[in-house]
Amino acid sequence: MSVPRFAIVGHPNKGKSSIVATLAEDDAVAISPHPGTTTQARAYPMRLDGETLYELIDTPGFQRARETLKWLEQHDRGAGARAAVVREFVAAHSADKRFLDECELLRPIVDGAGILYVVDGSRPYGRQYEAEMEVLRWTGQPRMALINLISAGDHVEEWRAALAQYFSIVRTFDAVRADFGKRIDLLRSFGAIDESWSAPLGRAADALEADRERRRRAAAGEIGDLLIDSLSTAVTVPLAGPNADEAALANGRGKLQERVRRRERDSRRSVQEIYRHGALAIEDSAAPYLVVDVFAAQSFSVFGLSATQLALTGAASGAVAGTVIDVALGGASLLLGAGIGAAVGAAGTLVGAGRLAKVRVLGQPVGGYELRIGPITDLNFPWVLLGRALLHAKLVAERNHARRDSLALDARADAHLADGIGSVRRRALEDVFRRMRNERGVDAADGSVLIDTIVTLLE
């Protein structure tokens, strides 16, 4: 069975390429505020597991719709021959510079593509569009109109009335903000206009929905791995003697932080690749919680659990058990603390504000000593990592491929994330975190609690 193909056509600069990018999940489609950005028809396949589900063809906008229509009318041989006359138009003008754009946009349609006609519903309707719509009607191909809203105006109703004269299905569709559900609706409704497409498009929609679940699980797996790795990370630095000095501590602390930061960056990249957003930049002053360092105080205040939540969760008990010496690294920012005066090797546990990492001096069998820093035992550390990862993954999963700005945080995300988790889940997660912190390792059951919880939190 042939793959359903749609040509996205319309006036220049109305969001055609944006719709292609959205429906093909391809952020490489050229989009710009300047009319005439797309100059050639180009197919973008939507692939899943090596199979092409459907194909979108981006096209240049109409330039000479009225003249095109005039030519068609001059060659009219009755309704039954109109599709053939359009084909003749393309053949007769393929070398005619004046009709380059018309030939580019009509060629895929005469070759069998369905039509998605895009208009901007924020601008008033005008009769100049009628020639375009009439030319499209002449092709006789299945067609649907999409009302995109590029700016603030609202002329949707007048557009709807006019479009209904030419198209059996008219939908509003926000090229830049349409979410996954809206895209699936669009696919299914396009299946309804053409019988031969209803089965493959129905299957495509089902496959995309199943894939959505798979992606969510894969993203949860990445976040789970990030937590496991970051909570079990420890670094070593060489020591001159059996006592740790300030410089060695600072050196080890820096290494540990850098390792966690790098791990977080890698995890974000993997999550973005799962959602086909590999090239997405995360840098926007509007997104401080996402951009600032995982170790910054701001991350802790936004994503960490409150003292009450920590107590309710049971996180506080048993967290510093073990024979190693926990050194308080002080201050509001984990491991950044000034005044780390703790002499490693001294007896006792300095709990301080709960900003902790395990620190110990190891004797080497071949002589010499090294300082081992980690794992990070700070009670809030896993919650901060998790909160940041969830927010990032949700924004990436929602993000439409027509957007060209960097990833920005929605103001609503200001709500304290940990509040949404619920105490039962929080406790289950904290049990897993505790085992990670205590270096006993996590087993398969812990792994599934972790992943299942993260999947739910991503919904």
Ligand X SMILES: Nc1nc2c(ncn2[C@@H]2O[C@H](COP(=O)(O)OP(=O)(O)OP(=O)(O)O)[C@@H](O)[C@H]2O)c(=O)[nH]1
Q: Rounded to the nearest whole angstrom, what is the least distance from the CB of residue 36 to ligand X in the complex?
A: 5
Size of the site for ligand X (CB under 6 A): 22
Instruction: Candidates 18, 22, 230, 267: give the one binding ligand X (CB under 6 A).
Output: 18
Stretch that binds Mg ion, among 12-20, 66-74, 256-264, 401-409 (CB under 5 A): 12-20
- 214-217 contacts: CB < 8 A, separation 24 or more? 215/274, 215/275, 215/397, 216/397, 216/455, 216/458, 216/459, 217/451, 217/455
CA dihedral sign, ordered 344, 264, 221, 452: positive
Our finding on whether 37 is near Mg ion (CB under 5 A) is yes
Instruction: Candidates 3, 12, 361, 447: give the one binding ligand X (CB under 6 A).
Output: 12
Which residues on neighbouring strands pair with residue 357, listed in sequence order?
A: 327, 376
Helix (H) or strand (E) holding 361: strand 356-363
Helices 128-139 and 82-93: angle between axes, nearest 10 degrees = 110
Stretch that binds ligand X, among 15-23, 293-301, 310-318, 320-328 (CB under 6 A): 15-23
Our finding on whether 38 is near Mg ion (CB under 5 A) is yes
Stretch that binds Mg ion, among 33-41, 129-137, 168-176, 392-400 (CB under 5 A): 33-41
Q: Rounded to the nearest whole angstrom, what is the least distance from the CB of residue 109 to ligand X in the complex?
A: 16
Residue 87 per-residue DSSP state? H
CA atoms within a 13 Å half-sphere pointing along the CA-CB vector of 442: 24
Contact mark string toward ligand X, 240..279, x via CB under 6 A = ----------------------------------------
**What distances in angstroms separate CA 14 from CA 105, 146, 186, 226, one per listed residue?**
15, 10, 18, 42
Which residues on neighbouring strands pair with residue 238, listed in sequence order?
A: 370
Of 99, 2, 110, nearest to 60 by C-alpha is 99
Of 378, 289, 297, nearest to 332 by C-alpha is 297
Measured from the CB atom, the residue of 16 and 358 that comes closer to Mg ion is 16
Instruction: Candidates 4, 7, 9, 16: give the one binding ligand X (CB under 6 A).
Output: 16
Helices 381-398 and 423-437: angle between axes, nearest 10 degrees = 120
Cα–Cα distance measured from residue 389 to residue 393, given in angstroms and rounded to the nearest whole number? 6
Our finding on whether 45 is near ligand X (CB under 6 A) is no
Q: Rounded to the nearest whole angstrom, what is the least distance from the CB of residue 127 to ligand X in the complex?
A: 20
Our finding on whether 230 is near Mg ion (CB under 5 A) is no
Q: Rounded to the nearest whole angstrom, what is the least distance from the CB of residue 39 to ligand X in the complex?
A: 8
Residue with tokens 């070593």: 236
Cα–Cα distance measured from residue 295 to residue 54, given in angstroms and rounded to the nearest whole number? 44
Stretch that binds ligand X, among 42-50, 171-179, 233-241, 261-269 (CB under 6 A): 171-179
Residue 176 contact, options ligand X, Mg ion, none, Cβ 5-8 Å cut-off depending on partner type: ligand X
Contact mark string toward ligand X, 143..162, x via CB under 6 A = -----xxx------------
| Residues 110 and 9 sit within 8 Å (Cβ to Cβ) | no
375 preceded by cis ω (within 30°)? yes
Residue with tokens 């495509």: 204
Our finding on whether 238 is near ligand X (CB under 6 A) is no
Cα–Cα distance measured from residue 410 to residue 395, given in angstroms and rounded to the nearest whole number? 8
Structure tokens at 20: 């292609």
Stretch that binds Mg ion, among 14-22, 215-223, 294-302, 319-327 (CB under 5 A): 14-22
Measured from the CB atom, the residue of 38 and 313 that comes closer to Mg ion is 38
Strands 42-48 and 51-58, sheet pairing = antiparallel
Residue 174 contact, options ligand X, Mg ion, none, Cβ 5-8 Å cut-off depending on partner type: ligand X
Stretch that binds Mg ion, among 15-23, 158-166, 231-239, 331-339 (CB under 5 A): 15-23
Instruction: Candidates 4, 5, 17, 90: give the one binding ligand X (CB under 6 A).
Output: 17
Q: Rounded to the nearest whole angstrom, what is the least distance from the CB of residue 280 to ligand X in the complex?
A: 16
Q: Rounded to the nearest whole angstrom, what is the least distance from the CB of residue 132 to Mg ion in the complex?
A: 15
Our finding on whether 61 is near ligand X (CB under 6 A) is yes
Structure tokens at 328: 């308080």
Our finding on whether 172 is near ligand X (CB under 6 A) is no
Our finding on whether 174 is near ligand X (CB under 6 A) is yes
Interface residues with Mg ion (CB under 5 A) are: 16-17, 37-38
Interface residues with ligand X (CB under 6 A) are: 12-18, 31-33, 35-38, 60-61, 148-150, 174-176
